[in-house]
C-alpha cells in the first residue's frame, strides 16, 4: 500500500483496503517515499513476487488530499524536504523549491516562462482526452501566462493540483500470470536513488542527480543503451509536479542533452507522434497528483499504453514494446525509474 499518510483521517488504510477487497487475513503494509510512494509500493510488491515470498501481490496507491485545508497541504508537502531547516527557518515550500530550479535553469539556458507554459498546454490537452484526469479543459499559452504567480516564475498553471485519487495494479509470478492473463506486461527493471535532504548540498540546480542515477541503474538492468534511449521506449510518464520538472526530466532521463530539453517541448516532440511521447495521460499537471497514488497510476498508464488500451487521441504507436515511468519524491529526495515491457526480461 502506497499512502504518504496524514492527509486523511483514516490511519489504517491497508487494513481497510484488505477488508473491502475481501482480503482480511492476508498480509498488508504501508510504504512511504513522499511523492514517489506509489512507485515504492510497486517495487515492494515486485520484490516480494521476485523473491518467491508471494505468488501474487496487490500494489495500491491512495490519497485524499482535499480533506486537509490548503495551508496544511503546503506544510505536509513541505515535510518532504529538509523540514526543520528549509521550511521552518526559511519558509521554503515546494513551489518555492522548484521555482529555485526554474530560475537557475532559465538563467543558464535562456528559457522563458512561455516555454514552461508549453508543458502545461500539452498536458492539459491530453488531460482533456483522459476521462480519469482531474482537469479536462484545454488551455493556451496566453491563459497560462496570465495566471497568478505562486512562486515566481511558476504560475498557477505551472503547478500540479491538490488531488484525491487511487490506483491499483496486480503483480504475479510468471507461472501464475500466464494462468490469469494472456497479455502480461513485465517489469523489466527498476532503478532507485536518493538525493541530499538539504538543498544547499546539491551539486547543481538544472536537474536532479537522483533521477539521473536511477535512470542509469534502470537502463543497465534492462540492458538498454542510455545514449539512444528514445529509440528503445515508446512512451514515458514523468514526474511533472511543476512544468520545470518535466523539462528537467527530459534531460535526466537522457531524452535530450543538458540544456536542450526545452527544444523537445518547443518542437512538440513529446506529443503523440513525436520523438518521445511524454505524459499523454495529462501528467501530474492535469491528471492530478494524489501523492501516494501517483506512482501506481503511472504503472496503470504504462500498461494501458503498451496494450493499446488508451483512449483515442492519446494512444501511442507501440514499436519497441516499452514504457518508462519516472517518479520523484520531494525535489529529488527519492527517485524511481521503472521500465515496463511487453517482452519477458532477459536473464
159 assigned to active site: no
* Candidate list 289, 326, 333, 335, residue with the active-site label: 289
In sequence order, which residues have a C-beta less than 8 Å from that of residue 22 and are 6 or more positions away?
none
Dig out the grid coordinates for 47 from the structure. Answer: 520484490
Please calculate the CA angle 336-228-50 and round it to the nearest 5 degrees. Answer: 40
In sequence order, which residues have a C-beta less than 8 Å from that of residue 146 and are 6 or more positions away?
none
Nearest to 126 by CA among 244, 252, 270: 270
Dig out the grid coordinates for 78 from the structure. Answer: 513541505
C-alpha 335/C-alpha 4 separation (Å) is 15
* Candidate list 35, 117, 241, 335, residue with the active-site label: 35
Phi, psi (rounded to 5 degrees) for 322: -135, 145
Q: Is 217 exposed, middle or buried (0-12, 13-18, 19+ CB in 10 A)?
A: middle
335 assigned to active site: no
In sequence order, which residues have a C-beta less than 8 Å from that of residue 293 and are 6 or more positions away?
2, 38, 61, 62, 63, 165, 166, 167
Question: What amino acid positions are annotated as catalytic residues?
Answer: 35, 289
Amino acid at each position: 500500500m502506497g499512502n504518504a499518510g496524514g492527509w486523511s483521517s483514516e490511519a489504517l488504510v491497508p487494513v481497510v483496503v484488505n477488508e473491502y477487497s475481501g482480503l482480511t487475513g492476508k498480509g498488508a503494509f504501508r510504504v512511504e517515499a513522499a511523492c514517489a510512494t506509489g512507485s515504492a509500493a510497486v517495487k515492494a510488491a515486485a520484490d516480494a513476487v521476485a523473491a518467491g515470498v508471494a505468488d501474487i501481490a496487490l500494489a495500491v496507491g491512495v490519497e485524499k488530499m482535499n480533506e486537509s485545508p490548503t495551508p496544511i497541504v503546503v506544510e505536509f508537502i513541505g515535510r518532504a524536504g529538509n523540514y526543520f531547516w528549509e521550511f521552518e527557518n526559511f519558509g521554503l515550500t515546494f513551489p518555492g523549491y522548484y521555482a529555485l530550479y526554474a530560475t537557475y535553469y532559465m538563467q543558464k539556458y535562456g528559457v522563458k516562462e512561455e516555454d514552461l507554459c508549453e508543458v502545461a498546454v500539452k498536458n492539459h490537452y491530453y488531460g482533456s482526452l483522459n476521462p480519469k484526469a482531474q482537469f479536462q479543459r484545454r488551455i493556451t499559452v496566453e491563459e497560462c501566462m496570465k495566471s497568478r504567480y505562486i512562486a515566481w516564475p511558476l504560475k498557477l498553471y505551472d503547478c500540479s493540483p491538490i488531488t484525491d485519487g487511487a490506483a491499483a495494479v496486480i503483480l504475479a509470478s510468471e507461472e501464475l500470470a500466464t494462468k490469469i492473463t494472456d497479455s502480461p506486461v513485465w517489469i523489466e527493471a527498476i532503478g532507485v536513488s536518493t538525493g541530499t535532504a538539504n538543498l544547499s548540498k546539491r551539486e547543481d540546480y538544472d536537474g536532479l542527480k537522483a533521477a539521473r542515477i536511477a535512470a542509469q541503474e534502470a537502463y543497465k538492468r534492462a540492458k538498454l543503451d542510455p545514449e539512444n534511449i528514445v529509440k528503445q521506449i515508446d512512451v514515458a510518464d514523468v514526474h511533472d509536479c511543476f512544468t520545470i520538472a518535466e523539462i528537467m526530466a527530459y534531460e535526466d532521463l537522457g531524452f535530450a542533452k543538458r540544456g536542450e530539453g526545452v527544444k523537445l517541448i518547443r518542437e512538440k516532440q513529446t506529443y503523440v507522434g513525436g520523438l518521445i511521447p511524454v505524459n499523454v495521460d495529462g501528467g501530474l499537471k492535469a491528471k492530478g497528483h494524489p501523492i501516494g497514488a501517483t506512482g501506481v497510476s503511472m504503472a496503470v498508464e504504462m500498461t494501458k499504453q503498451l496494450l493499446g488500451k488508451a483512449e483515442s487521441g492519446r494512444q501511442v504507436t507501440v514499436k519497441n514494446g516499452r514504457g518508462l515511468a519516472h517518479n520523484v519524491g520531494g525535489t529529488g529526495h527519492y527517485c524511481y525509474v521503472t521500465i515496463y515491457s511487453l517482452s519477458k526480461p532477459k536473464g
